[in-house]
Structure 1
Amino acid sequence: MKTIRTLKIALPLLVVIFLIGSSFTIAPLKWEHLGTRTVNYKLDRDVIKVTAKDGRFKKLKLKVTNGSLNMHRVVVQYGNGEKQVIAIKKNFAKGGTTRLIDLKRNKRIIRDITFFYDTKNLSRKRAKVHVFGKH
Structure 2
Amino acid sequence: MTKGKFLWLAGVAVVVFALSSCVAQVAPEGWLYLGKRNVNFRNDRDTIIVSGNVRPLSQLMVLARNYPVTVYDVRVFFANGTSFDAVNRQNLYPGGDRLYIDLPGGQRTVREVMFRYSRLPGKHKSAIVELYGR
TM exceeding 0.5: yes
Match of 2:70 in 1: 70
Match of 1:33 in 2: 33
How far off is 1:61 after superposition? Answer: 0.5
**Between structures 1 and 2, the one with greater helix share:** 1
- Any unmatched runs of 5+ in structure 1? 1-28
User: What is the distance in 1 between the residues matched to 2:113 and 2:130?
Assistant: 11
Letter of the 1:92 partner, please give it. L
Structure 1 stretch 78-87 or stretch 120-129: which is displaced more? 120-129
What TM-score, normalized by structure 2, do the two folds share? Answer: 0.72
Query: What is aligned with 2:81?
Result: 81
C-alpha change, 1:52 and 1:84, in structure 2 (3 Å) is: farther
Distance 1:79 1:56 in 2: 10
Q: Structure 2 CA distance, aligned partners of 1:41 and 1:66?
A: 14
Question: Alignment RMSD, CA only?
Answer: 1.6
Please identify runs of 4+ aligned residues in structure 1 that moved more than 4 A.
Answer: none
Equivalent residue letter for 2:58: K
Opposite residue 80 of structure 2, the aligned amino acid is: N
Q: Higher Cα Rg: structure 1 or 2? A: 1
SS in 1 for 2:109: strand
Structure 2 unaligned residues grouped into runs of 5+: 1-28
Partner of 1:55: 55
- How many residues of Structure 1 are paired with residues of Structure 2 in the alignment? 105
